[in-house]
Amino acid sequence: GQQVMQIPQYQHVQEGEDFTTYCNSSTTLSNIQWYKQRPGGHPVFLIQLVKSGEVKKQKRLTFQFGEAKKNSSLHITATQTTDVGTYFCAGSGNQFYFGTGTSLTVIP
Amino acid sequence: DAGVIQSPRHEVTEMGQEVTLRCKPISGHNSLFWYRQTMMRGLELLIYFNNNVPIDDSGMPEDRFSAKMPNASFSTLKIQPSEPRDSAVYFCASSPTGYQPYEQYFGPGTRLTVT
């Protein structure tokens, strides 16, 4: 079954509000990736984290890999309508799994 | 440079028919992945090739599904016979490096409808 869970499943925010999605694995991951899929589109690679406790930033997006390498988060500061889409984490352990995804809606 | 190319983009077929989905990975990429995406099951990895060799096919649902990669620039996913529950978007993705999956580049997908 699914070994990489994400919460929340859905999130509606007002434009300008912050947004966070959390990714949790039942096993230790060697690395974690984040992807964004726009409605009707395909997943697009955003970033990869490899080190325990690693934090990376891309403009308004902040990605974090947990100390135990079992969880990760993506935080978006001051959301914009262009942030709409589904955000997936994907982890490599014994196998490779995509998370369940968090669908973000930004209300203008 | 062209990205991952998939064909057809849309396929509508009747139950029992054979369906073949095609993928051309990005030139120079060593790894190729086939995924299936549905609302119910999310994004599922079906099979993974490295240097044209199938490495992990544990995600292939059943014997009706088969995948081949005869050379570095072409792969197919075949469903025979197709069933309505196979309706989904099928994505192909390629990756530039080694055994462990690294950043993957997805194609636009094939939307399959089986009636």
Per-residue pLDDT of B73-88, as tens digits, reads 999 999 999 999 999 9
What is the overall mean pLDDT for chain B? 93
pLDDT beyond 90 at A7? yes
Alpha-carbon distance B16 to nearest alpha carbon in chain A (angstroms): 27
What pLDDT does A96 receive?
77
pLDDT beyond 90 at B58? no
Residue of A99, A107, A105, A108 lying closest to A35 (CA atoms): A99
Residue among A42, A95, A101 minimizing CB distance to B107 = A42
- For residues B79-112, one letter each, b for 16 or more C-beta atoms within 10 angstroms of the residue's C-beta and e for the rest, the string is beebeeebbbbbbbbbbeeeeebbebbbbbbbbb
Number of Cβ within a 10 Å radius of residue B48: 24
Q: What would you measure as the largest C-alpha separation in chain A, in angstroms?
A: 42
What pLDDT does B98 receive?
60
H or E stretch at A84:
none
Q: And the tokens for A47?
A: 């970033």
Burial class (CB in 10 A: 0-12, 13-18, 19+), A66: buried
AA letter at A15: E
Backbone angles phi, psi at A92, to 5 degrees: -110, 120
Alpha-carbon distance A95 to nearest alpha carbon in chain B (angstroms): 9
Least trusted range by pLDDT, from A63-77, B3-17, B57-71: B57-71
CA distance B65 to B82: 9
pLDDT beyond 80 at B1? no
The predicted-structure confidence for B17-43, as pLDDT tens digits, reads as follows: 999 999 999 999 999 999 999 988 889
> What number of CA atoms fall less than 13 Å from residue B72's CA on the CB side?
8
Alpha-carbon distance A97 to nearest alpha carbon in chain B (angstroms): 7
CB-CB under 8 Å, A100 with B42? yes
H or E stretch at B105:
strand B105-106
AA letter at A107: I
Chain centroid to CA A48: how far? 11
pLDDT beyond 60 at A42? yes
What pLDDT does B101 receive?
62
Confidence bin at B2 (pLDDT 50/70/90): confident
